[in-house]
Chain A
Amino acid sequence: MIYSLYIINKAGGLVYQRDFAEQLEKLSSNDYLVLAGTFHGVHAITSKISPVPSSSGIEVLEAETFKLICTQTLTGTKFLLVTDPQHQNVEVLQKKVYDLYSNFVMKNPFHTPEMPIRSDQFDAGLTKLISEA
């Protein structure tokens, strides 16, 4: 089950946030911005404190009530998917989310890069994708 999706730009700003289920706490939009910034910083540090050389940043965060999967694109945008702790095959879903992002956000001539995403088609595509998953 997918709980929510966050998209963080390369500077650590939250550009998209959407909940698909009620399991997580509802926070104010300011809190979500703070959390995104925190995660961005932690992601950078986790590759520095690795006990073995050349580690990536945080990829999966496990908590008792949820699991957070982070994929970073080559341009530095981070897609965070929050799922239930037992969820499998998130990679497939991540790829589909990225497809939607490329099609309806990046190809949108009115979209300003690194700015919050406002696209009805992206929203609709996500709703369809998550309901099928």
Chain B
Amino acid sequence: MTIHNLYIFDRHCECIYFQKWSHQRPSSMASVNATSTTTSSKTGGLLNSTSRMQSAAIPGNNMSLEEEAKLVYGVVLSLRNFVRKLSGRQDGFISYKTSAYRLHYYETPTGLKFIINSDPYTESLRPVLRQIYVQLYVEFVVKNALMRFDNTRWTIGSSTVHDIPIAGDDDAEAAERQETQQIPAGYISNELFRVAVDRFIRSLSVFE
């Protein structure tokens, strides 16, 4: 049993969070994570996060994360409306399964959508998604006094990170950081939330 990835969408259909867990090389993956958390204290974890975002592409699939997130949102929204129409209830859609994966869905009353992909034989992960919302999202995002809620893309976090001077800073790096100012989809600089989610998912019995 495995957990593949996690998406969070806000109610403006914007992908505000994406994280992928690789299961091919668990030992090297763990070491990458360990280094990223140690270096994140120096560089703010920003460049590390971007490199993690780029490696998030599905093997044999050259879709960008932005396009993929749009498709996921479209599928989930269509199925939600499909279920609503057939059952006449507000939050009927729980999950769907294909031959290779299972997608679990949880929507908060405020319209935030939590989506997790696991292998097809995992039982319902809706309680897990609810826990991520209640225990992690509310704690680390909603209660974060620096969050700006007119734009849920954690902009305030990234700007404070940019203010931190980096030793050995050259022009190329500066340009790169200028580019990252245009926050791509699924890009969150709230490192505490990211670390907490990662730790929580890895602690689950269904994660192997």
Q: Which A residues have a C-beta under 8 Å from some C-beta of B?
A: 24-25, 27, 31, 35, 38-39, 41-42, 45-66, 82
Contact = CB atoms under 8 A, between A and B. Distances in A.
Contacts of B99: 55-56, 59
Given A25-B85, A64-B92, A53 B61 contact: yes
A35 B82 contact: yes
Interface stretch (B69-77, B183-191, B199-207): B69-77
Contacts of A82: 86
B85 A52 contact: no
Contacts of B58: 50-53
Contacts, number: 103
A60 B97 contact: yes
B100 A35 contact: no
Query: Which 10 A/B pairs are nearest by Cβ-Cβ distance?
Result: A55-B100, A51-B4, A56-B99, A63-B92, A25-B88, A60-B97, A65-B87, A63-B83, A62-B94, A61-B96
B85 A49 contact: no
Interface of B: 4-5, 20, 58-61, 63, 68, 71-72, 74-75, 78-79, 81-83, 85-89, 91-101, 103, 117, 124
Given A59-B99, A66-B86, A48 B92 contact: no
A5 to B, nearest CB: 13
Contacts of A38: 78, 81-82
Contacts of B103: 46
A53 B98 contact: no
A24 B5 contact: no
Interface of B is mostly: mixed
B100 A56 contact: yes
B91 A64 contact: yes
B39 to A, nearest CB: 27
Contact of B60 (A42, A53, A60): A53
A47 B86 contact: no
Contacts of A27: 85-86
Nearest to B69: A49
Given A45-B71, A46-B75, A52 B89 contact: no
19 contacts: A31-B85, A42-B75, A46-B96, A47-B98, A48-B63, A50-B100, A50-B101, A51-B4, A52-B100, A59-B99, A60-B96, A61-B79, A61-B82, A61-B96, A62-B94, A62-B97, A63-B93, A63-B94, A64-B91
A42 B89 CA distance: 20
A55 B85 contact: no
A32 to B, nearest CB: 9
Contacts of A51: 4-5, 20, 58, 101, 117
